[in-house]
Chains A and B, each alone.
Chain A
Amino acid sequence: QKEVEQDPGPLSVPEGAIVSLNCTYSNSAFQYFMWYRQYSRKGPELLMYTYSSGNKEDGRFTAQVDKSSKYISLFIRDSQPSDSATYLCAMSGGDSSYKLIFGSGTRLLVRP
């Protein structure tokens, strides 16, 4: 079993929809949770960073962490075609404090 599981998609939604992207993990020592956006042939770009449990909002993006369920989510409101990209979750903590453990990424397509 992988430490971090993420549905690869692709997820196709119409413009303006609310998008929900999710990851589950198995290591209860993880404390830092991140979401990266990666456009085709580009390096990943940090979108959201959350420490421990709770919600964090930044514009149209909301990150949620539920440590009791070992489940994290990224919500995108009013999705735009420019949001079409691969979204990678990442986390760290415990023995892997120097390293990020990544999900395999979910490919999102927002249709105009």
Chain B
Amino acid sequence: SQTIHQWPATLVQPVGSPLSLECTVEGTSNPNLYWYRQAAGRGLQLLFYSVGIGQISSEVPQNLSASRPQDRQFILSSKKLLLSDSGFYLCASRTAGASDTQYFGPGTRLTVL
């Protein structure tokens, strides 16, 4: 089965600072990868997904960007954080060609002050 790693686990950043969150996946090849944000008490908002290296689809216009430099590595970035970027960021992986099931990482809790 797949294992998804995310780091850091928690992060406190000032407004206007840059951001880099990393996700790596074990146990599968050529996965579809996803970044979600979950605000407190809210559902999951899909931010980006990728079906292959260098292929990124954005779901919502925002202050964030994503990159996939390697098959099992997915990075979420920002040049200048906003207060509204605070939230719980989750990386998920789906084995391409298999069921639509996604497996989630442990998440990164980001607080922007």
Chain-B contact segment, one of A11-19, A59-67, A72-80, A101-109: A101-109
Q: A51-B99, A98-B51 are in contact. Are A43 and B104 (CB under 8 A)?
A: yes
Residue numbers in B under 8 Å from A104 (CB-CB): 42-43
B83-113 contacts to A (CB < 8 Å): 88, 90, 94, 99-107, 109
Interface size on A, residues (CB 8 A): 24
Interface bits B40-75 vs A (CB < 8 Å: 1, else 0): 011110100101000000000000000000000000
A98 with B49: CB separation less than 8 A: yes
Residue numbers in A under 8 Å from B49 (CB-CB): 98-99
> Is B24's CB within 8 Å of the partner chain A?
no
Question: A43 is contacted by which of B43, B51, B94, B107 (Cβ under 8 Å)?
Answer: B107
B101 with A49: CB separation less than 8 A: yes
Question: B90 is contacted by which of A8, A32, A43, A46 (Cβ under 8 Å)?
Answer: A43
B44 with A102: CB separation less than 8 A: yes
A105 with B43: CB separation less than 8 A: yes
A42 with B106: CB separation less than 8 A: yes
Interface bits A71-112 vs B (CB < 8 Å: 1, else 0): 000000000000000001010110001111011110000000
Spell out A's residues near B (CB within 8 Å): 8, 32, 34, 36, 41-46, 49, 51, 88, 90, 92-93, 97-100, 102-105
12 contacts between A and B (CB under 8 A): A34-B101, A41-B88, A43-B105, A43-B106, A44-B90, A46-B101, A46-B103, A88-B44, A93-B100, A98-B32, A100-B46, A102-B43
